[in-house]
Structure 1
Amino acid sequence: MLVGSLVIRALYLQIYDRDFLISRGERIHIGSETIFAHRGSIKDRNGELLAISLPVDAITANPRMIADNMIKIQELAEVLDMDHLALEKKISDGYKSGKQEINIKRRLSPEKADQVMALGFPGVDKRREYDRYYPAGEVTAHLVGLTMRYEDKGIEGLEVKYNDVLKGKSGKKTFIRDNKKGKRNKVQSIKQLRPPIPGKDIETSIDLRLQYLAYKNLKKAIKEYNADSGSIIILDAKTNEVLALVNQPSYNPNDRSQYTPESQRNRAVTDIYEPGSTIKPLILTAALESGKYSLASIIDTSPGSIKVGSKKIEDPDNLGPISFSTVLTRSSNVGATKIALSLDAEQLWDTLTRFGFGSLTLSNFPAESPGRLYHHSNWRNVRQATISYGYGLSVTPMQLARAYAVFGAEGILRPISLLKMDEPKQGVPVVDSEIAKKISLMLEEVVHPGGTGIKARVPSYRIGGKTGTAWLSKNGNYSKEEYISTFVGIAPLNNPRLVVLVKIDKPQGLYYGSDVAAPIFSEVTSAALRLLGVPPDSLPEESIFTYVESKTLNGNGL
């Protein structure tokens, strides 16, 4: 009896209500939808946001359904702030290509998307997405990088380096859709097939306060000297964490129209250059390691020049016989050349490679360059001579800053870190600590009266560093009109906290590292030490007198 009733009912539906079932099937169908995962945030070492994903909505449409209501398209275009002809073409193209869903407009605020949906426009729907926003804009652009628009995928900087950590995993859900009378109403979800897994946050080594400081001073310098480009790096001298890294020119990652190949380069880690006289501390390190030299050694630079093969190497003045440390203080090319030529090429090469030249800094930053240091077996006397004052090898600014950090760390070489660390990474001893201390003391002489780095001095702090001025190589020849100015130093020397590098490319007018880069170093380092609360280690005499007098008057003695 029951079976018979079911058979009769089935025949009735197939024969008499067939059209109803067909229309009902066309109206209602089950679909699936991606649930986008929230990308993790990028923060500075103090928790300040450098990159964050904000909720936005995309307006989508079924071209076949919306094509039947083109008469109302202008109303939709007005709410979307779109040209109605452009919108019509987009829908028409989607219809002709047979697409069931097209993106009408993306990156809308949820409030704006709700206004669109309130129109009740047939075939129109919205989809939740996330848009990447960079609060510091171009200040952190080269370091943080950016993601591919509309996709949860890093394409530059830390966004691509840590993409697998940040991106999370999208979820998926199913739903019923009722297309009654051309309206496309989504019924509640039937089932969440896979929940989204949000990405993880990363905490960088960057101190946004120092980043702003470096950015402001670099931008000012590029304008003041009408320079082509430049970089500033601030490292933690104890851990080799990158506290600040800026380049010019830069771009605002929130405005893709500014993004060009020229502006997006992170020059501090990708661009190589000949470091000029900033290499000399490494040459003197090799000399002390050889046992042939000591701080008491005298180098005769008379008559102010030396000929190596067909190449004549000169100093601005004939310094005559000078002390070992004066080679650094007065930046004597002749003195450095004589020292380098007296050393075994393999030993000199070994010192440079131990300090990290010719290899990556282990920061793993995308597109980082290892620089260029030819094997000593390919050296001739001329190359060995020119290497002594910074030609014939190429380094990145980051490599050079890392090498100077060895002197601040008493002979320990550590990898560069872009993430905040609780403890320093394990380092490798690359030079005897006593030699590292001697080089640091000689670097201090460079910024004293008579040294080339006097303009790098930081009031109330003992600092040490070295100037560098290098000709630019063009088409195999050196230009006598285009220079790179550099200063790199350590502060404070009593208890090293920072390593700061300043590099300015093609400054106009003044161009020596002592005139261009050194004053910038002084300003950046002075402000950075104050921001970090680093106590002075070299008070002026009047300050010392006031301090002693105060202690005595208070009965505390000396």
Structure 2
Amino acid sequence: MKRNSNRKKRAQQAQPRKVYHSFSPWRFWFVSITVAVIAMLLITRLAYIQIIEPDYLTNEADKRSLRVTKSVTHRGNISDRNGEELAISVPAYAIWVDPKAVKKAYAFTDEEWQASGVESKRTGKIRYSKKKFFESKKWPALAEVLDIKFEKLVQIVKKPKARFVYLKRQVNVPIVDYIKQLKLAGIANQLESHRYYPTGEINANIIGLTDLDAQGIEGIEKSYNRFLQGQTGKKRVRKDRLGNVIDDIEVLTKKKAAGNLQLSIDQRIQAVAYSQLKRAIKIHKATSGSVVVLDVHTGEIYAMANYPSFNPNDRSQYQPYKLRNRAITDTFEPGSTVKPFVIASALIYKKTDIDEVIDTSPGWMYLGGRRVRDGRNLGKINLAMILKKSSNIGVSKLALRLKPGQLQQTFADFGLGNDTGIGLIGESVGRLPLRHRWSDFELATMSFGYGITATTLQIAKAYAILGSGGKSYPITILKTPNPIEGEQVIPRNIALQVVHMMEGVSQQGGTARKAKVQGYRIAGKTGTSRKAEAGGYGDDYIAIFAGLAPASDPRFSIVVMINEPQGDRYYAGDVAAPVFSAVMQSALLLSHVRPDDEQTRYTLLDQLNDAQ
């Protein structure tokens, strides 16, 4: 055995050995060139990035980390003169969907979306195939809570390239929390602002409303939109991958706080004015109406009520005609409410005196072939009786003594034919014809309110001028701590004399006994005018009552206008005067104005305490 093993060893040693070379030139050069090329490419790329396009990586990083954030400014509040909120902004949310994210989450192609609904020939309704999306109960639940049809939701989600579509806006917090619990892909929310009006329909015509983007579109909301809106702040920040802000880069838009408005409106008086106006319109089956309460010494509006109205918190009620602020937009022929101005004009231009007696017999007269008449023959009456009995003959005779330009100038001094300066969008200036030649009949009819037009606010301002002793104050809807001094437009003694004459209107034998206010002397005038129509005047009327109280030292001017009262009782003394009485009493009591009648003072104070 040992001999055989030795033989094998000698045989193996006799065979030639294979030689392996450790170095290969072509491999070396291949590897070297490859490494060099890669190095050159890296160096070239590095040089390209750092020298030719040094901002490339910075821009790429900025795309992934820089964001613009908004600092939302909520719209300013609107309150009355006592601080009661009339319009406030509350947090709300908008629910939106990313259709692309929805399709990605459910792995649907555009073709599958297009084929997901088939119209049924029998019912005409869409029949959906039972795919994963439609089998989920969460999407019908989303449609139900947002009060939209499931078919409409599907159509929104099926939009091929959309990345942002609103589902519903102005959504409250409980609904948002419910939607979050559904955990639906592609559904998100964003914070926005919702406008809420605590007083509802009472102030809708003057406050107005905003759209879904919190932009004022009517009323004060529109007139003072820029002041109430403020300015949303924007800044560029850097965020990490978790969305946390790690650096503030720059301010793009500086945040500007929204302003708050305090109106001159007294909500207590406003509520009474609205309820009394609404009640009268319902009782007399009228079409519309308005009431204005004006402080004669400051020009501040304490109430401006209109009917019809609507609740701005329920947009389903919205109709443009219901939102119109009729006190400043609707014009009408003021009728006999202008007679005090004619008497004032005759006194100013010395065409009469305070004690003159005018013969109105036989109760009618012809001017240019046309007749002017009173309801009955009033005989010989003085100036105060002309107002008390509302004599067309008496006031026409005074107007005919005046030159047309003189009467026009007096009307203009009382603010007719011009804006009141309130500054609200939509105000009408009325119509005061200015021409050199007038017929006697035209001049006579203008003296009892025909041929000219005015708004409820204009009449209220004109009576406020009488009540303030002939001073005209700028009309304002905003509370003014320091009222502007008024401009004297007619002599003080004449204004006070006319106010004293108007006291007889609510007394025994006057045209508006229902305008009386317990404990206070009032001065006022009725106006019942026919409405003009094509070819003349129709059978519809406008009932107006304008007045001041207390007559001893006027504080408020109130005008009530009711449009087209129906039935036999359409006269202003029956329709508008009771509204004036209720509103004026509330305004005087709530403003702590001392009664003229001391005997009823304590009774009225008790009523005031009960009302509060």
Q: Sort the TM-score into its range (normalised by shorter chain).
A: 0.7 to 0.9
1:453 aligns with 2:489: no
Q: CA deviation at 1:188?
A: 4.9
Counterpart CA distance in 2 for 1:189 and 1:319 is 90
* Letter of the 2:190 counterpart: R
Letter in 1 for 2:233: G
In the TM superposition, what whole-angstrom CA distance separates every residue of 1:69-88 from its partner, at most 9, and x where no partner exists?
35456414414614332212
Partner of 1:145: 208
What value does the CA root-mean-square deviation take over the aligned residues?
Answer: 2.8
Summarize deviations over 1:63-112 as a string: whole Å, max 9, x none.
Answer: 2111223545641441461433221211223xx3x332222221122343
Quote the Cα distance in structure 2 between the aligned partners of 1:362 and 1:105: 40
1:92 aligns with 2:158: yes
Matches within 5 A, 1:83-482: 83-93=149-159, 96=160, 98-148=161-211, 150-173=212-235, 188=245, 191=248, 193=251, 194=253, 196-479=255-538, 481-482=539-540
Cα distance in 2 for partners of 1:351, 1:195 equals 52
**Pair 1:498-2:534 in alignment:** no
Q: Which amino acid aligns with 2:187?
A: V
Q: 1:120 to 1:171 in 2, by over 3 A?
A: farther
Q: Deviations over 1:464-493 (max 9, x none)?
A: 0001100011113111x2111111111112
Q: SS of the residue aligned with 1:60?
A: strand
Aligned with 2:342: secondary structure?
Answer: helix
Question: Relative to 1, partners in 2 of residues 1:416 and 1:473: Cα closer, same or farther, differing over 3 Å?
Answer: same
Note the residue ranges of structure 1 that are not aligned, 5 or more in a row: 15-20, 180-184, 547-558
Deviates more, 1:368-377 or 1:531-540: 531-540
1:6-54 CA-partner distances (Å, limit 9, x unpaired) = 959989xx9xxxxxx9xx99x9675545443211001100111111111
Q: Using the alignment, how far apart are the partners of 1:426 and 1:460 within structure 2?
A: 30
Percent identity of the aligned residues?
40
8 Å Cα contact 2:404/2:437 also seen in 1: no
Matches of 1:246 and 1:405, distance apart in 2 = 18
Deviation at 1:365, TM superposition (A): 1.2
Task: Name the stretch that deviates more: 204-213 or 28-37.
Answer: 28-37
Aligned partner letter, 1:145: G
**Which residue type is aligned with residue 305 of structure 2?**
V
Which consecutive residues of structure 2, in runs of 5 or more, have no partner in the other structure? 1-38, 50-56, 107-131, 604-612
* Residue 534, structure 1, aligned to residue 534, structure 2: no
DSSP 3-state at the match of 1:375: coil
Counterpart of 1:17 in structure 2 is none
Q: Shift of residue 528 of structure 1?
A: 2.0
In structure 2, what is the Cα distance between the partners aligned to 1:443 and 1:187?
Answer: 74
* Change beyond 3 A, Cα 1:121–1:33: farther
Contact 1:240 1:416 in 2 (8 A): yes
Instruction: Confirm whether residue 489 of structure 1 aligns to residue 547 of structure 2.
Output: yes
Matches of 1:136 and 1:104, distance apart in 2:
29
Q: Report the equivalent of 1:554.
A: none
Shift of 1:497: 1.5
Q: TM-score, normalised by structure 2?
A: 0.80
Shift of 1:407: 1.0
Q: CA-to-partner distance for each residue in 1:415-452, whole Å, 9 max, x for gaps?
A: 21000011222321110000001001001122111211
User: Are the structure 2 counterparts of residues 395 and 47 from structure 1 closer, same or farther at C-alpha, using a change threshold of 3 Å?
Assistant: same
| Paired position in structure 2 for 1:38 | 74
* Map of 2:101 onto structure 1: 65
Judge conservation of contact 1:175–1:187 (CA < 8 Å) in 2: no
Whole-angstrom distance in 2 between the partners of 1:41 and 1:428: 33
Counterpart residue number, 1:56: 92
Q: CA deviation at 1:298?
A: 1.3
Counterpart residue type for residue 201 of structure 2: E
Instruction: For residues 250-302 of structure 1, give each alpha carbon's deviation from its aligned partner in whole angstroms, at most 9, with x where no partner exists.
Output: 11111122221221111100111000100000000001011121111111111
User: Structure 1 residues 100 and 187, CA, compared in 2 at 3 Å: closer, same or farther?
Assistant: farther
Counterpart-to-counterpart distance in 1, 2:448 and 2:382 = 17
Secondary structure of 1:232's match? strand
Q: 1:189 to 1:330 in 2, by over 3 A?
A: farther
Q: Which amino acid aligns with 1:307?
A: Y
**Structure-1 separation of matches of 2:139 and 2:85:** 36
TM-score by length of 1: 0.88
- Of 121-130 and 287-296, the range deviating more from structure 2: 121-130
For the 8 Å contact 2:91–2:191, the answer to whether it is kept is yes
Number of aligned positions between the proteins: 521
Per the TM alignment, residue 218 of structure 1 is displaced from its structure 2 partner at its CA by: 0.6
> Aligned partners of 2:64 and 2:44: how far apart in 1?
22
What is the SS of the residue equivalent to 2:101? helix
Q: Deviations over 1:133-177 (max 9, x none)?
A: 1110110001101112x2121111110111110001112355789
Partner SS for 2:381: strand
